[in-house]
Amino acid sequence: MSLPALLTQHIARRPQRIALLQHIAEQGSITRAAKAAGISYKAAWDAIDELNNLASQPLVKRSTGGRGGGGAHLSPEGERVLRLYQRLQALQAQILEAAEESSDLDLLGRLMLRTSARNQLQGQVSGLRPEGRYDRVSLALSGGLEIDALITHDSTARLELTVGTTVVALLKAGWVRLLAEGEEAEAGSNCLCTKVEEVLAEVDGPSEVRLALGNGQTLCAMADAHWLAAQHVVDGSVVRVQFHPSYVLIGVPA
């Protein structure tokens, strides 16, 4: 089974994040791997979340017990991606030598867009139906999960979306809202059940909440620290989140 095109493109333009997999394999710990890579613990987990969400299967898994009370290891899929990265490293020098001008590499960099959206979920278009001025695009994620996006007819045509098209759903963390216990989701909104992996509390301003979906993909949300405390939301809590389909942006490989 070949790697998804979106993950392959990510490897090509963000090799430092794939290199983090090598450190995890060697260190068996996110903390030690982040230190070896010269990045923060938070940056390491941001990279891992993005890679896991773009891959068909999680690349990194947490393990309990052992030194320091826990660690992390590569899944079989992660080991396979790491081998691919090592082969790409061998080809990198040849690609650089083949560039006719240094500006060629700058041009390629501009064509490969990076986004500020914290949440990037790979999926496939499973349904397309018009709703007034918009199209409701159903996206099948791995593990049987599904979300909807609302985009214009023009966007559907411009992206050449059809059932089966592989896409990335982009969603800003601020658009993901945690629901209180017993609270009903808004009609027409996406609603997913998640498990809190980590709450990164902030003294001033909203706290960042890392959420695990049942399929191994992750979401990042922002929530008020006082609200989290009042709802007793801590690491390991099960919470539902909602976000409107109009907040879901869709990207496809160029």
Give CA angle at 168 (166, 172), nearest 5°: 165
- Top-confidence residue, 184 or 52: 184
- What pLDDT is attached to residue 228? 93
Alpha-carbon dihedral 224, 225, 229, 232, rounded to 10 degrees: 70
Provide the domain limits for residue 28.
Answer: 3-96
Structure tokens at 226: 């006082």
- What pLDDT is attached to residue 11? 52
- Top-confidence residue, 98 or 21: 21
Q: Which region among 3-7, 27-31, 87-91, 160-164 has the lowest average model confidence (pLDDT)?
A: 3-7
- 132 shares a domain with 239: yes
The pLDDT confidence band at residue 64, using thresholds 50, 70 and 90, is low
Q: What is the count of structural domains for the chain?
A: 2
Tens-digit pLDDT profile for residues 138-162: 999 988 999 999 999 999 998 999 9
Pick the closest to residue 47 from 56, 36, 35, 34 (CA basis).
Answer: 34
**Where residue 204 sits, what CATH number does that domain have?**
2.40.50.100
Contact, 209 vs 199, CB < 8 A?
yes
- What pLDDT is attached to residue 122? 87
- Top-confidence residue, 14 or 239: 239
- What pLDDT is attached to residue 149? 96
- 235 shares a domain with 114: yes
| Residues 43-64, mean pLDDT to the nearest whole number | 82
- What pLDDT is attached to residue 128? 96
Q: Which region among 22-26, 57-61, 210-214, 242-246 has the lowest average model confidence (pLDDT)?
A: 57-61
d(CA 234, CA 60): 22
Decide if 103 is inside a domain: no
- 115 shares a domain with 52: no
Residue 189 has pLDDT above 90, yes or no: yes
Decide if 235 is inside a domain: yes
- 156 shares a domain with 42: no
Pick the closest to residue 203 from 225, 222, 233 (CA basis).
Answer: 225
Q: How many residues are recorded in the chain?
A: 254
- 164 shares a domain with 212: yes
The pLDDT confidence band at residue 67, using thresholds 50, 70 and 90, is very low
Tens-digit pLDDT profile for residues 98-142: 555 555 555 544 444 566 778 989 899 999 999 999 999 999 998
In 132-184, beta strands by DSSP E: 134-140, 146-152, 166-171, 177-178
Residue 66 has pLDDT above 50, yes or no: no
Structure tokens at 245: 């389909």
Percent of the chain beyond pLDDT 70? 78
Q: Strand, coil or helix: what is 56?
A: coil
| Residues 2-23, mean pLDDT to the nearest whole number | 64
- 184 shares a domain with 150: yes
d(CA 237, CA 181): 11
CA 244 to chain centre: 18
Question: How many other C-beta atoms lie within 10 A of the C-beta of residue 188?
Answer: 14
Pick the closest to residue 197 from 60, 14, 32 (CA basis).
Answer: 60
- 60 shares a domain with 88: yes
- 116 shares a domain with 31: no
- 216 shares a domain with 192: yes
Q: Which region among 34-38, 93-97, 166-170 has the lowest average model confidence (pLDDT)?
A: 93-97
- What pLDDT is attached to residue 110? 45
- 136 shares a domain with 233: yes
